[in-house]
């Protein structure tokens, strides 16, 4: 298995992973447009895990500027997804570790994210990776 930056040709496979997780289809044309914009901005990281020429996982990091303290950026992590057949095999750990390394290279002070309270398996996974869910509360509000 290799962890690498996603390329535009990976988007259909990434969309398939998203559909497995959320149960609905992604707009592939919109994904391609967003991918092009992300490449130009240098503020996003999209990685994929590949094994035997198949995308088995993905993760995204958004690098956000900060105005606090030394004004170093922070990263918001989204969409860590592994194919159901590849779970519990180290894919998520490797994707997350690579994203952390990129965050460090980009001088990010921390990685933050939210997950649903009922995803106990995901919460357990994140805790084993060193993330703490006991000191902060995350909030989410849809704007549609």
Domain ranges for the chain, please list them: 2-128
Tell me the per-residue pLDDT of 3-40, one tens digit each, with 9 for 90 and over.
999 999 999 999 999 999 888 899 999 999 999 999 88
> Residue 113 to residues 49, 126, 127: CA-CA distances in angstroms?
20, 10, 13
Give the per-residue pLDDT at 126.
Answer: 93
Give the per-residue pLDDT at 75.
Answer: 97
Give the per-residue pLDDT at 53.
Answer: 95
With 0.75 as the threshold, say if the pTM is over it: yes
Mean pLDDT of all residues in 32-61: 95
Quote the DSSP letter at residue 135: S
For domain 2-128, the CATH class is alpha beta
Burial class (CB in 10 A: 0-12, 13-18, 19+), 58: buried
- The encoded tokens of residue 2 equal 């290799």
Tell me the per-residue pLDDT of 72-93, one tens digit each, with 9 for 90 and over.
999 999 999 999 999 889 999 9
């Amino acid at each position: 298995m290799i962890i690498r930056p996603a390329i535009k040709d990976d988007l259909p496979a990434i969309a398939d992973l998203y559909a497995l997780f959320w149960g609905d289809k992604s707009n592939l044309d919109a994904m391609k447009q967003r991918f092009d914009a992300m490449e130009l901005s240098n503020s996003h990281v999209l990685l994929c895990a590949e094994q035997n020429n198949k995308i088995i996982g993905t993760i995204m990091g958004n690098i956000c500027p900060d105005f606090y303290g030394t004004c170093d950026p922070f990263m918001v992590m989204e969409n860590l997804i592994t194919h159901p057949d590849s779970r519990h095999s180290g894919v998520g750990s490797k994707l997350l570790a690579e994203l952390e390394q990129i965050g460090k290279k980009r001088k990010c002070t921390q990685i933050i994210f939210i997950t649903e309270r009922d995803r106990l398996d995901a919460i357990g996974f994140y805790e084993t990776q060193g993330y703490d869910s006991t000191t902060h509360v995350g909030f989410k509000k849809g704007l549609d």
